[in-house]
């Protein structure tokens, strides 16, 4: 009886492990070399920030912008970031008429699934997952400026081309 019970438990354990492996293999996120995949132009299509303890008070809120209401909520064109092969980048904010409003520049590097952006006054680390020409850039940031990097940031960008030349 104990042998039968032992074999049953062993069989169920092996089956469960195999099913977990099958589920993890079904993850549709492409396994990519970020250093080779990132270069080019990426445009933001979605932003979601779960802000925790807003301005050092015990409160929270979610800031979310979807592609379909970007212009209505932001009153600017979708943000673009240009990753050059030489590990330089620039981020552009443009008015709806295409006029350049501001630019930030810096260096980028990758470490596994992490993208590091280094600007003169800040360094950001994003976990990046790429699937079907979309990149999910997620991080813990101090988005609300309260001095705590406790805000959950998700930015979905669409790859729109290889050329990083200035308009």
With tokens 């520049």, the residue in question is 105
Confidence of residue 165 (pLDDT cuts 50, 70, 90): low
DSSP 30: B
- Span 34-161 CATH architecture: Beta Barrel (2.40)
- Percentage of the chain beyond pLDDT 70 is 76
Give bridge partners of residue 83 from the DSSP assignment: 40, 89
The first and second tokens of residue 98, run together, are: 């295409």
**Residue-averaged pLDDT of the chain:** 82
Query: Would you say residue 76 has pLDDT above 60?
Result: yes
Distance CA 139, CA 154 (A): 7
Q: Which residue has the tokens 């195999």?
A: 18
Give domain limits for the chain: 34-161
Residue 167 above 90 pLDDT? no
160 pLDDT more than 70: yes
Determine contact, residues 98/91, Cβ cutoff 8 Å: no
Distance of CA 16 to the CA centre of its chain: 31
Q: What is the pLDDT of residue 9?
A: 36
Is the per-residue pLDDT at 4 higher than 80?
A: no
């Amino acid at each position: 009886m104990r042998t039968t019970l032992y074999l049953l438990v062993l069989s169920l354990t092996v089956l469960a492990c195999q099913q977990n492996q099958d589920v993890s293999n079904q993850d549709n996120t492409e396994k990519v070399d970020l250093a080779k995949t990132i270069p080019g132009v990426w445009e933001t299509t979605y932003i979601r920030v779960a802000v925790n303890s807003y301005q050092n008070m015990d409160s929270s809120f979610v800031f979310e912008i979807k592609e379909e209401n970007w212009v209505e909520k932001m009153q600017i064109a979708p943000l673009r970031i240009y990753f050059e092969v030489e590990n330089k980048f620039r981020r552009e904010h443009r008015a709806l008429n295409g006029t350049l409003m501001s630019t930030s520049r810096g260096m980028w590097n990758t470490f596994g699934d992490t993208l590091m952006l280094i600007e003169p006054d800040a360094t950001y680390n994003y976990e990046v997952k790429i699937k079907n020409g979309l990149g999910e850039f997620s991080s813990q940031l101090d988005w609300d400026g309260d001095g705590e990097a406790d805000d959950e940031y998700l930015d979905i960008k669409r790859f729109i081309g290889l050329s990083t030349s200035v308009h």
